[in-house]
Amino acid sequence: MNPYLDIAPEVQRALSEGMPVVALESTIISHGMPYPKNVETALLVEQTIRENGAVPATIAVIGGRLKAGLSREEIEYLGKTGRGVAKASRRDLPALVARGADGATTVATTMIIAHMAGIRIFATGGIGGVHRGAETTMDISADLEELANTPVMVVCAGAKAILDLGLTLEYLETKGVPVIGYGTGELPAFYTRESGYSVDYRVDSPAELADVYRAQRALGYRGGMLVTNPIPAEYAMDKTVIDAAIEQALRESVEQGVKGKEVTPFLLARVVELTGGDSLESNIQLVLNNARLAAKTAAELAR
């Protein structure tokens, strides 16, 4: 086992008995939602995973240790500290570990740590991707490269239109990452069920998802796969409302010269502020929906 990794006892027990486990990220807690909704949501997501037959493993870096499975106190600490915790993507782990520091893990680092621990499936809200204007800024999330290299299935609700969804799909195609629609042939756009872009494959059951994952391993691929699960219709947002908020947030980020790892957290926070919390409720519901699907798929994988 990796000398920097701590697997929580409950998670370790489930893994050694071949029981279903689902990884969860922590940047969504610290940088993706405001306190106290972030903590409530993180705990509710864990509970939802349990109710659907799997053990949750929320992942973060605490005191330089890579944690697979957090205590309630650790989740509360990350939620309260919010953007005061370092957002930890792939390039951040070496320094955080060496200094014994704390970090909230993105999709990329959650995949890395999940894989180290032997966890095959991970549920989140939205992934990072190719940003609008990336042809000049070169702002492309490390999440995409991780999907290309690390064998974890990531269940999300697509990607927010803060990104260029077309370029994000092109990048994933180049890197050989399967993009699967759950119950849809269209890429969902996080707050809305449709984006106008097609996914590679439509899959309609957790058992089929488990089959595709097993086939990917059997083929000897090293990378992961992306499952895009549309937000339940009753919680989807009005496209014109959300698009207007995203456009304004993007304009402000350019005006204020926001750069690097700050871009995504800035946009996420502004969109919530501009939509007066409606988008937050949608965000919570889609994460719970992804948690249910990931837990059921983990149960199929464990059969």
Catalytic residues: 25, 160
Nearest-angstrom CA–CA distance, 134 and 169? 14
Q: How far is the CB of 205 from ligand PSU (least distance, A)?
A: 26
| DSSP line for 115-142 | HHHT--EEE-S----BBTTHHHH--B-H
32 binds ligand PSU (CB under 6 A): yes
143 binds Mn ion (CB under 5 A): no
92 binds Mn ion (CB under 5 A): no
203 binds ligand PSU (CB under 6 A): no
**Structural tokens at position 137:** 């800024």
195 binds ligand PSU (CB under 6 A): no
In order of 124, 154, 209, 211, 221, the CA distances from 157 in angstroms are 8, 10, 15, 20, 24
Question: What residue 142 binds from Mn ion, ligand PSU, none (CB within 5 to 8 A, per partner kind)?
Answer: ligand PSU
228 binds ligand PSU (CB under 6 A): no
In Å, how far from its chain's centre is CA 224?
A: 13
Please, which residue, 159 or 295, has the CB nearer to Mn ion?
A: 159
Question: What residue 106 binds from Mn ion, ligand PSU, none (CB within 5 to 8 A, per partner kind)?
Answer: ligand PSU
79 binds ligand PSU (CB under 6 A): no
Beta bridge partners of 140: 130
Question: How many amino acids of this chain bind ligand PSU (CB under 6 A)?
Answer: 19
The alpha-carbon radius of gyration of the chain (Å, integer) is: 18
Stretch that binds ligand PSU, among 10-18, 140-148, 218-226, 235-243 (CB under 6 A): 140-148
Q: Scan residues 236-275 and list those touching Mn ion (CB under 5 A).
A: none
Closest CA to 28 of 40, 18, 12, 11: 40
Stretch that binds Mn ion, among 20-28, 113-121, 135-143, 279-287 (CB under 5 A): 135-143
In order of 95, 117, 177, the CA distances from 65 in angstroms are 12, 13, 29
For residues 59 and 113, is the Cβ–Cβ distance under 8 A? Answer: yes
- Continuous H helices in 122-238: 134-137, 142-149, 165-174, 206-218
For residues 293 and 232, is the Cβ–Cβ distance under 8 A? Answer: no
Pick from 30, 41, 106, 253 the residue near ligand PSU by CB under 6 A: 106
Please, which residue, 127 or 245, has the CB nearer to ligand PSU?
A: 127
Nearest-angstrom CA–CA distance, 41 and 46? 9
Question: What residue 77 binds from Mn ion, ligand PSU, none (CB within 5 to 8 A, per partner kind)?
Answer: none
For residues 168 and 144, is the Cβ–Cβ distance under 8 A? Answer: yes
Pick from 6, 11, 23, 25 the residue near ligand PSU by CB under 6 A: 25
Pick from 142, 167, 269, 302 the residue near ligand PSU by CB under 6 A: 142
Cβ contacts of 94 within 8 Å, gap of 6 or more: none
Binding mask 229-268 for ligand PSU (x = CB under 6 A): --------------------------------x--x---x
Pick from 12, 21, 22, 27 the residue near ligand PSU by CB under 6 A: 27
For residues 76 and 39, is the Cβ–Cβ distance under 8 A? Answer: yes
Q: Where do contacts with ligand PSU occur on this chain (CB under 6 A)?
A: 25, 27-28, 32, 89, 106-107, 125-128, 141-143, 160, 190, 261, 264, 268
Which residues contribute to the site for Mn ion (CB under 5 A)? 139
